[in-house]
Structure 1
Amino acid sequence: MTAVYQEGVPSYDTVVRWKRSFHCGNTNLEDEPRSGRRSLVEEAGIVTQVEALILSDRCSTIEAIVHEISRSHGPVFDIIHDELHVTKVAVHWKPQLLTPVQKQQWMDVTKKLLQLCQDKKVEFFDCLITMDESWVYHYDPETKEMSKQWKHVDSPPPKKAKSQPSTGKVMLSVFWDRQGDIMTNNAQKGVTITGKYYWNLLRKLQEAIKKNLCEMLGKGVRLLHDNALAHATTLAASLGYEILLPSPFSPVLAPSNFFLFTQLMKPLRGKRFQDVISAVEDFLDSQNETFYNQGIQQLRHRGKCAALEGEYVED
């Protein structure tokens, strides 16, 4: 056999064992059934026990479960994936977990605001001023997405040292409407946004409206401000303004959050500024009326949080 078939032939001992088996009348060439090791799944209550451990601590590892039930890793893995059909995923982080009362308040505000957008249409937006604050850094590094580069298949991947935002930052407040930037204000790091600070902002806004948008005062100013506090509502009402967004934690309904600040930060990232406010003002002044109108008009399509019963919506 070795001379004919060369490699891969059975050994001499195997041939002798088969010859004896054939002489005894056993001509079956298939493997005989073996009892083997009992499957872990067949053990009574083991699947329920593994499921109970997972439900008691959803962050537990397979190694911890193996240690708890004194079994090997492979069978436990099979139970989790094949019997329980459970997989481990990362937690979905949200900026704020709202209470049921806050969710209901958010839904009510959303429906009211969307109804105003649809009913009064152009007239509603003519009297609307939106405002919010955001930190701007003298140096804000590029995001991982912004740092992507093209490369050939055989080229080494580009490398870049990880950077952190600078400690120097400014609190930027922007008041704007469908026509453009009305007023900006900045506060250095360490300044607290108090009732007095906000009152000064509203007085400055009043002067800016008188100077450039005096016809709006006759129609009635509607102020759309995310997370408006009680003192902000009172102060604005004393000037004859209508606060449209008293609901807390509602950035999804604030155009500055879902539009303006997103567009503003893109050209600033990855650059170092001695005077970042000048760069901000240059950006705001360079945008035309279409840019601002587009951001305000997006309010018509912000009904997601009502459809999701007040859950936080990511853009």
Structure 2
Amino acid sequence: MDSPKTEYRAVIKFLTKEGVNARTIHERMVNVYSEDAPQYSTVAKWAAEFKRGRTSLEDDPRSGRPADVITDEIVAKVQNIIMTDRRIKVDEIASECGISHASVCNIIHERLHRSKVSARWVPRYLNTQDRHQRVESSRELLDIYRADPENFHARLVTGDETWIHHWDTETKKDSKQLKHKTSPLPKKFKTQPSAGKIMATVFWDSKGVLMIDYKPPKKTITGAYYAALMKKLRNAIKDKRRGMLTAGVLLLHDNAPVHKSRVAQAAIRECKFE
């Protein structure tokens, strides 16, 4: 029910039972509610209804299309439709259930506590075996940490590859050119398209970057290439982290094919990385 209307009708009903006429009821309501008071015709109509014995303060049912009623059956039907097709549009649900767009939104958000969201981008699909392998690897890493937590971070070295987009900026000196005094000035644009990209392999530990290797253009990262990186990494650790090779290096990297190749694994063992 509409609360203001119900309040007005309750006042009219009470004063009518006291024997107050419709004109006086309207004047008294104007004094209390001022501009929000109902019109005299409305007061007279309801006063006459209450004199005839009416007790309800609600409006009588109207002819035409009934208002949407959210029942348990409708809610269950909407839920079944959503479970069948989670990408279905609200207007399609409203058309199939025969209710309004607003009622469908009310059911989805207030009764079913659902909302439509976009899919989140993830790097790759992981099946059950992949997830199990990640859990086992994480547990193995935790076991190594618990065995010697004080020296764990000092021994850990990790790395990854990334693409770096680049372009060569031109200085003002480089842009100088000979021109005739009547020729227009040359123009130089601040924004230039990227000239290319290069693959960089970065290794670091808890103290900072150990080594950055830039892959030569038109060369593929293979097991042999990664094996050579391991030897370069060992030399970088020897130069920058005194005593780390003696304590033992814990190499943490992903399971890319080149990292798992035989030649790369042999180089890792040769460098005495764990």
**Does the 8 A contact of 2:234 with 2:271 survive in 1?**
no
Q: CA deviation at 1:239?
A: 1.5
- Looking at structure 2, the residues matched to 70 and 18 of structure 1 have their Cα atoms a distance apart, in angstroms, of 34
Q: Given the superposition, is the C-alpha separation of residues 48 and 57 from structure 1 closer, same or farther in structure 2, using an over 3 Å criterion?
A: same
C-alpha RMSD over aligned residues: 4.0
Say how many residue pairs are matched.
215
Matches within 5 A, 1:1-315: 10=39, 15=44, 21=48, 26=52, 28=54, 31=57, 34-36=60-62, 37=66, 39-42=68-71, 45-138=73-166, 166=194, 168-187=196-215, 191-211=219-239, 215-228=243-256, 229-231=259-261, 233-243=264-274
- 1:52-100 alpha-carbon deviations (Å, 9 max, x no partner): 1100111212112123334332333333334333333343433333222
**Does the 8 A contact of 1:132 with 1:173 survive in 2?**
yes
**Does the 8 A contact of 2:94 with 2:101 survive in 1?**
yes
Structure 2 unaligned segments of length 5 or more: list them: 1-22, 168-190
- Looking at structure 2, the residues matched to 99 and 115 of structure 1 have their Cα atoms a distance apart, in angstroms, of 25
- Looking at structure 2, the residues matched to 201 and 29 of structure 1 have their Cα atoms a distance apart, in angstroms, of 91
- Looking at structure 1, the residues matched to 46 and 205 of structure 2 have their Cα atoms a distance apart, in angstroms, of 93
Q: Which has the larger radius of gyration?
A: 2
SS at match of 1:242: coil
- Looking at structure 1, the residues matched to 203 and 53 of structure 2 have their Cα atoms a distance apart, in angstroms, of 93
Q: CA deviation at 1:189?
A: 6.2
SS at match of 1:91: coil
TM-score (norm 2): 0.60
- 1:173-211 alpha-carbon deviations (Å, 9 max, x no partner): 122334443322112565432112212212322443455
- Looking at structure 1, the residues matched to 38 and 232 of structure 2 have their Cα atoms a distance apart, in angstroms, of 96
- 1:213-247 alpha-carbon deviations (Å, 9 max, x no partner): 5744444433222335311752334414334xxxx
One-letter amino acid of the structure 2 residue matched with residue 104 of structure 1: H
One-letter amino acid of the structure 2 residue matched with residue 192 of structure 1: T
One-letter amino acid of the structure 2 residue matched with residue 67 of structure 1: S
**Does the 8 A contact of 1:221 with 1:242 survive in 2?**
yes
Alignment identity in percent?
A: 33
Task: Report which structure shows greater RCO (CA 8 Å, sep ≥6).
Answer: 1
Structure 1 unaligned segments of length 5 or more: list them: 140-162, 244-315
One-letter amino acid of the structure 1 residue matched with residue 161 of structure 2: E
Bigger mean CA deviation after superposition, 116-125 or 100-109:
116-125
One-letter amino acid of the structure 2 residue matched with residue 66 of structure 1: A
Q: CA deviation at 1:14?
A: 7.6
Q: Given the superposition, is the C-alpha separation of residues 80 and 178 from structure 1 closer, same or farther in structure 2, using an over 3 Å criterion?
A: closer
- Looking at structure 1, the residues matched to 68 and 59 of structure 2 have their Cα atoms a distance apart, in angstroms, of 16
